Amino acid sequence: MAVGVVFFYDYFMFLMVMVLGSFYFMTDYSWTGMFIFSDSFMGVIMAVLGIFSIVLVFLVEESVALVYLSQILVYFCVLFFYSSNFIMLYIFYELCMFPILVMILGYGSQVEKVGAGYYLLLYTVLCSFPFLFIILNMGLLFSSAYSSLFVSWEVVIFLSLCFLVKFPVYFLHLWLPKAHVEAPTVASMILAGLLLKLGCVGFVRVLDSVSYYQSYLMFLLSFLGMLLCSLSCAFQSDVKSLAAYSSVVHMGLYLVMVMSFSSVAKSSGFLVLLSHGFSSMLLFFLIGMFYHYSGTRLIYYFSGLMSSLSFYAYGIMLVMMSNTGVPPFWSFFGEFLAVGSLVFGFVLSFVIVLVYLFVSFYYSIYFIKLSMSGQGYFNTKFYTMGYGLVLIFMVFNVFWLGLF
């Protein structure tokens, strides 16, 4: 019903979906089949996640410019998921940077947004140009993005670097907290829920070139990133920074599961990826709502939400539980299968993942305990903010797959 409302009132969104649908149906009958096609179940689900994010943006955002920028960004992301060769993969990957950059620089509320824009642009350009140089030098411009590449490990690193910066893997993640903190709420939702998935999908495309021996470097980076970012979450005072570092942690867990070369781990990694998309969008939505109402993002002021904003407190408790990965939320099944597959493969990695889960539970439970106890700072009810229907809609989507 919500999708029908968007299509009825927003002709631009309807036009984009029609164009994408035309590409899909012309796959086997025209030249577009060389460039765009529906490759896998993962691409289809990521496209559905993009449409879902547009519905949420339409429901909560009042700025027409931000709505259109969000639509353009989601459109480029969906076309990236459907790209079939390296040149289209690179074009749509780079085009996704410009809408989010305009959102940060044009609609950020603080002067630090300029620095965040520089970080985003610098990391993207420096890590993407080697990818373009390699596909040009090796004649891979119009080659299929699914073919196996028999290249040296140095070339594999530079090909992967383009997408690892959007994971983001640890040591390449510095742009993400800055971008999240300075971006408006809508940009943060799409950045965490959809834009980070570009790096995940792109990295899987070039994964055939990585041998078992070469994967130890990725294991080290992902494990180190999970532990250090989990510890960083425990010491954050800005709740938006906490959510940003939490995204780095989840992407590190996904990288571990992908690099384990286990079919069970890869399938569970897809569940983690999808559950993170829904829960992170809701988390940034709730944080942005609190910031617009109170003017602060300090965790200290979330104390006592149950006594003043009880409906909001229940909502943020549910999404933090989903973000942590506890039953019955569907993120639990992904992490449970991941830990189970690591037991039979790598004992040391199993221990490291358990440490990560312990630290993750710590800062999540601390935040939930803080919001459920203490004296509240606000004397209003959540429904006066006008987002009750949206919250119910989003919380339902966080855990419905875990129940059924």
Whether 173 and 232 have beta carbons less than 8 Å apart is answered as no
Distance in angstroms (rounded) separating the CA atoms of residues 91 and 80: 8
Range in 240-244, 373-377, 387-391 with the lowest mean pLDDT = 387-391
Chosen domain end from 181, 208, 235 = 208
Q: What is the mean pLDDT of residues 220-227?
A: 81
What's the pLDDT at 30? 38
Could you identify the residue written with the tokens 């019903």?
A: 1
If asked whether residues 136 and 274 sit together in one domain, one would say no
Range in 4-13, 102-111, 137-146, 228-237 with the lowest mean pLDDT = 4-13
What's the pLDDT at 3? 46
Whether 323 and 397 have beta carbons less than 8 Å apart is answered as no
Q: What is the mean pLDDT of residues 208-228?
A: 70
If asked whether residues 231 and 148 sit together in one domain, one would say no
In a domain, 324, yes or no: yes
| Per-chain mean pLDDT for the chain | 75
If asked whether residues 331 and 259 sit together in one domain, one would say yes
If asked whether residues 71 and 153 sit together in one domain, one would say yes
Q: Is the pLDDT of residue 201 over 60?
A: yes
* Percentage, residues of the chain above pLDDT 70: 74
In a domain, 136, yes or no: yes
Q: What total of structural domains would you count in the chain?
A: 2
Distance in angstroms (rounded) separating the CA atoms of residues 276 and 268: 12
If asked whether residues 178 and 236 sit together in one domain, one would say no
Distance in angstroms (rounded) separating the CA atoms of residues 294 and 308: 13
- Report pLDDT digits (tens) over 311-326: 778 888 888 888 887 8
- DSSP state at residue 217: H
If asked whether residues 116 and 102 sit together in one domain, one would say yes
Helix (H, G, I), strand (E, B) or coil at 85: strand
* Percentage, residues of the chain above pLDDT 90: 1
Range in 6-15, 111-120, 169-178, 197-206 with the lowest mean pLDDT = 6-15
What's the pLDDT at 261? 65
Q: Is the pLDDT of residue 166 over 50?
A: yes
Confidence of residue 74 (pLDDT cuts 50, 70, 90): confident
In a domain, 374, yes or no: yes
If asked whether residues 246 and 287 sit together in one domain, one would say yes
Q: What residue type is assigned to position 219 of the chain?
A: F
In this structure, what are the phi and psi dihedrals at residue 83, rounded to the nearest 5 degrees? -70, 140
Confidence of residue 266 (pLDDT cuts 50, 70, 90): confident
In a domain, 57, yes or no: yes
Distance in angstroms (rounded) separating the CA atoms of residues 167 and 198: 8
Higher-pLDDT residue of 219 and 281 is 281
Confidence of residue 386 (pLDDT cuts 50, 70, 90): very low
What's the pLDDT at 345? 60
What's the pLDDT at 110? 80
Confidence of residue 38 (pLDDT cuts 50, 70, 90): very low
Single pTM value for the model: 0.84
What's the pLDDT at 310? 76
If asked whether residues 180 and 220 sit together in one domain, one would say no
Chosen domain end from 187, 208, 229 = 208
Could you identify the residue written with the tokens 């004649």?
A: 139
In a domain, 224, yes or no: yes
Higher-pLDDT residue of 56 and 238 is 238
Q: What is the mean pLDDT of residues 133-140?
A: 77
If asked whether residues 269 and 286 sit together in one domain, one would say yes
By CB neighbour count within 10 A (0-12 exposed, 13-18 middle, 19+ buried), where does 137 fall? exposed
Confidence of residue 398 (pLDDT cuts 50, 70, 90): low
Q: Is the pLDDT of residue 85 over 80?
A: no
Q: Is the pLDDT of residue 187 over 80?
A: yes
If asked whether residues 98 and 120 sit together in one domain, one would say yes
If asked whether residues 276 and 146 sit together in one domain, one would say no
Could you identify the residue written with the tokens 């390449």?
A: 172
Q: What is the mean pLDDT of residues 215-224?
A: 76
Half-sphere exposure (Cβ direction) of 291: Cα atoms closer than 13 Å: 20
Chosen domain end from 143, 177, 208 = 208
What's the pLDDT at 146? 55
- Report pLDDT digits (tens) over 91-124: 888 888 889 999 998 888 788 888 888 888 888 8
Helix (H, G, I), strand (E, B) or coil at 144: strand
If asked whether residues 203 and 279 sit together in one domain, one would say no
- Highest mean pLDDT among 38-42, 145-149, 242-246 belongs to 242-246
In a domain, 3, yes or no: no
- Whole domain around residue 98: which residue ranges? 13-27+38-208
In a domain, 2, yes or no: no
What's the pLDDT at 303? 81
What's the pLDDT at 11? 47
What's the pLDDT at 208? 60
Q: What is the mean pLDDT of residues 357-365?
A: 84
In a domain, 187, yes or no: yes
Could you identify the residue written with the tokens 């590409």?
A: 23
